[in-house]
Chains A and B, each alone.
Chain A
Amino acid sequence: MQPASGVKRRASYTGLYAFLASVIMFFAGFSSALVVRRAGAKDWKPVPMPDLIWMNTAVLAASSVMAEKARRDLRKGDRTRFNAAWALATLLGCLFLYLQVQLWYRLRDAGVYMESNVSGAFFYLGTIAHAIHLAGGAAAMMYLSYRAVRLELGPGRRTGVDVATFYWHFLGVLWVYLVGLFWFLAA
């Protein structure tokens, strides 16, 4: 006996929330490590934040908006619009990842290495950890596009899209949090 689809939808959300709880704990642990390591440290050098970071933030925000639009289109049953918006959201996500790599290069060119100062190490670690989570999200979105092309998604089968969008928004908020953390404590 297969569980009913309502149960599956609920389970997908519960699984997502549980996963997000552990991601939040990871970044909470990361943040408190930063705070403790910075407190009273005489060796702490500020990280020169590249301006590119604002551009990246804008791209990620746009991606979130597109994903939300796509999700609503799918709920209304407008598959054509969904496909376009969803693909655009995914592309913007990939653009963000590309720009992140550029950001790391700029930092490197400015002389910030993993081993040069611990503030830079925290910056790299935090942004790389975020990027890994984002790459996972982007992969899931591509997989959902693939399913959409095969006409496997619709208003009655949209749990995957809903869950992925929620996760995507979460990563956006997490990014804003990280930028704030580094801006106030590391820049």
Chain B
Amino acid sequence: MSFLRRYVFSTDHKVIGIQYYLLALFAVFVGIAFSVIMRFHLSYPEAKVRLFEWLWPATASGGVMTPELYLSLMTMHGTIMVFFVLTTAPQSGFGNYFIPLQIGAEDMAFPVLNMLSFWTTLVAFLVLCAAFFVEGGAPLSGWTAYPPLSAVGSIAGPGQGLGQTLWVVSIALFCAGSLMGAINFITTILDLRVAGMSLMRMPLTVWSWFVAALISLFAFAVLIVGGVLLLLDREAGTSFFLPAGLLINDRLLPNDGGSPLLFQHLFWFFGHPEVYIVIVPGMGVVSTVLSVFSRKPVFGYKAMVIAMFSIGLLGFIVWGHHMFSSGLNPYSAIAFSVLTLAIGTPSAIKTFNWIATIWGGQLRLNVAMLWALGFVSLFVSGGITGLYLGQPALDSYFHDTYFVVGHFHLIMGVAAIFAIFAATYYWYPKVTGRYLSETIGRIHFYVTFLGVYGIFIPMHYAGLAGNPRRYADFAQYDFLKDLTVLHKFITHTAFTTAAVQLLFLFSLFWCVRRGRLAGENPWQATTLEWAHHPAAVHRGPYEYSVPGSRKDFVMQNETAS
């Protein structure tokens, strides 16, 4: 096989999994760089920086960042992180590599489709990045791209021209790639399991990829509708989302009758399920890692499966909680509120089961386990604020403040990233045959753990004080003056936390060659990816410390214990 067929246009699920992972790795460092630049600007708005002028001569002339540049960085940060990092690595990256291995299949069901889905996603990423290099630069309207401003073109701001068009095209491509991936995941899991691997013997990781694939299938198809209608409003002169009498930059637009709220419905019908596409695969990994390193079975396996399905299902009927202050009918706001708070139940079931899993276990506190414990901590801290935001009366105050920024970063951003780290440390020996450095890992973990709390907890206070989000400069407002110190603290914590990520990057590549050698089943785990050509499965996925057994674990493909 030629090099190209083998490593570039490969149909092998392992290669494709690694390709997705590397794409997400590149994307996450771009996203981190943007966030550092944004934080710098928020704390030092007047600073003149050569680098900015060199990078963005039009929007940072003299080295001072314009508000437009700030908003474009914010938009690109959010879009890259949500789509190309948090949707790409946990689901497409790890899922592709490990679904076939964990269910004992040769490959995914449709290998060519699998290759296409990766390449579609990569093209989507390149199209998005191209927005920086076109006239006017990257779009300004956030990862949610609300019309009217996203639909009227460059009169709404420099990046709202070609930049915003590229954004829409990129997201539509990303949807297509994700749909192909979801079809593959669902089919593989349903039809290609090895003999004896009944559904209720699947590791929770496989369940989680399955649930996330189902959510993707239903959610992305609706986002495409929103994207296409937005594109038509921009390019074909339609009025799906543009109401009559729009006055933008002193120009009266000819549109008539459109509804900006319609876009919000379409977007959030996708958007809330999307946050579960991001987090559910992480729940699967964390369940497994906690069990392996406590040497105990997952507590309440069946409840965990049911909880994931109910989270996925409920996730489709709560989207209105993002629109409490958009002019929603108050009666429907109450319904959305009750349903939203109801998601707390399966979430709590999962949390209690994680704690019960490690309770009384023989904890092995290595780095993978630390990240998994960190995930649980963040999931609780971020989930609790969801209960505040889910109430219309409270949300009318919190909406569009830093309280929301704190909430979704803890629960979606950082929690999912912690799950990616846990998965990386856990499966690195499987992929490379070597361990990642535990010493570097510990430093990386503790600094990051303290760092993210140091960054995002203060944001809740800023939000309580009324600090609005998506503003390029707080210094101009008297009522925010008292928060300057708080923001400086956040900024410097962010610098430190970002810097320590470079340690991880170094370790990731260094240990491919130099890491400590790992054996065939270094963690003494039970699932099939650690087994040698499993021919059949005889038991469930979490048989640790089985009473009466000789060893403290029994692999799924072992016949006798």
B269–A115 CB distance below 8 A: no
Within 8 Å of chain A (Cβ to Cβ): is B18? no
With A14-B187, A33-B240, A36-B262 known to touch, is A25 a contact of B257 (CB < 8 Å)? Answer: no
Residues of chain B within 8 A (CB-CB) of A18 are 182-183, 186-187, 217
A22-56 at interface with B (beta carbon < 8 Å): 22-23, 25-26, 28-30, 32-33, 36-37, 41-44
With A11-B191, A15-B110 known to touch, is A121 a contact of B232 (CB < 8 Å)? Answer: yes
CA distance A22 to B229 in the complex (A): 18
A115–B186 CB distance below 8 A: no
Residue of B nearest to A15 (CB): B187
Main secondary structure of the interface of B (DSSP, over half): helix
Measured CB to CB, the closest approach of chain B to A12, in angstroms, equals 8
Within 8 Å of chain A (Cβ to Cβ): is B237? yes
CA distance A28 to B265 in the complex (A): 13
Q: Which of B182, B186, B229, B239 contacts A14 (CB 8 A)?
A: B186
Q: Which of B183, B191, B236, B258 contacts A115 (CB 8 A)?
A: B236
Residue of B nearest to A36 (CB): B262
Within 8 Å of chain B (Cβ to Cβ): is A3? yes
Residues of chain A within 8 A (CB-CB) of B191 are 7, 10-11, 14
The interface-forming segment of B72-80, B218-226, B524-532 is B218-226
A1-21 interface mask toward B, CB cutoff 8 Å, 1 = contact, 0 = none?
111000100110011001101
B106–A11 CB distance below 8 A: no
Measured CB to CB, the closest approach of chain A to B153, in angstroms, equals 14
CA distance A1 to B89 in the complex (A): 29
B202-227 interface mask toward A, CB cutoff 8 Å, 1 = contact, 0 = none?
00000000000000011011101110
Residues of chain A within 8 A (CB-CB) of B221 are 22-23, 25-26, 29
B217–A37 CB distance below 8 A: no
Measured CB to CB, the closest approach of chain A to B147, in angstroms, equals 13
Measured CB to CB, the closest approach of chain A to B70, in angstroms, equals 32
B106–A3 CB distance below 8 A: yes
Main secondary structure of the interface of A (DSSP, over half): helix
CA distance A11 to B105 in the complex (A): 13
A125–B228 CB distance below 8 A: yes
Q: Which of A2, A19, A23, A115 contacts B238 (CB 8 A)?
A: A115
A37–B187 CB distance below 8 A: no
Q: Number of contact residues on A: which range applies?
A: 20 to 34
Residues of chain A within 8 A (CB-CB) of B259 are 36-37, 41
B182-203 at interface with A (beta carbon < 8 Å): 182-184, 186-188, 190-192
Within 8 Å of chain B (Cβ to Cβ): is A118? yes
Q: Which of A7, A22, A41 contacts B179 (CB 8 A)?
A: A22
Within 8 Å of chain A (Cβ to Cβ): is B37? no
With A7-B192, A29-B221 known to touch, is A36 a contact of B236 (CB < 8 Å)? Answer: no
A118–B222 CB distance below 8 A: no
Within 8 Å of chain A (Cβ to Cβ): is B266? yes
Within 8 Å of chain B (Cβ to Cβ): is A173? no
Residues of chain B within 8 A (CB-CB) of A43 are 239, 244, 256-257
Within 8 Å of chain A (Cβ to Cβ): is B109? yes
Measured CB to CB, the closest approach of chain A to B91, in angstroms, equals 15
Q: Which of A1, A25, A32, A118 contacts B217 (CB 8 A)?
A: A25
Residues of chain B within 8 A (CB-CB) of A14 are 109, 186-187, 190-191
B257–A29 CB distance below 8 A: no
CA distance A28 to B192 in the complex (A): 30
CA distance A21 to B190 in the complex (A): 15
CA distance A41 to B225 in the complex (A): 20
Residues of chain B within 8 A (CB-CB) of A32 are 265
Within 8 Å of chain B (Cβ to Cβ): is A176? no
Residues of chain B within 8 A (CB-CB) of A1 are 106
A-B contact pairs, 29 of them (CB 8 A): A1-B106, A3-B106, A7-B191, A11-B188, A11-B192, A14-B186, A18-B182, A22-B182, A22-B183, A22-B217, A22-B218, A22-B221, A23-B221, A25-B217, A25-B222, A26-B221, A26-B224, A29-B221, A29-B222, A29-B225, A29-B269, A33-B229, A33-B240, A36-B259, A37-B258, A42-B257, A118-B258, A121-B232, A125-B229
* A-B pairs with lowest CB-CB distance, top 4: A115-B237, A43-B257, A25-B221, A29-B225
Further 6 A-B residue pairs, CB within 8 A, beyond A21-B217, A114-B232, A118-B238: A11-B109, A15-B110, A19-B183, A22-B183, A26-B224, A43-B256
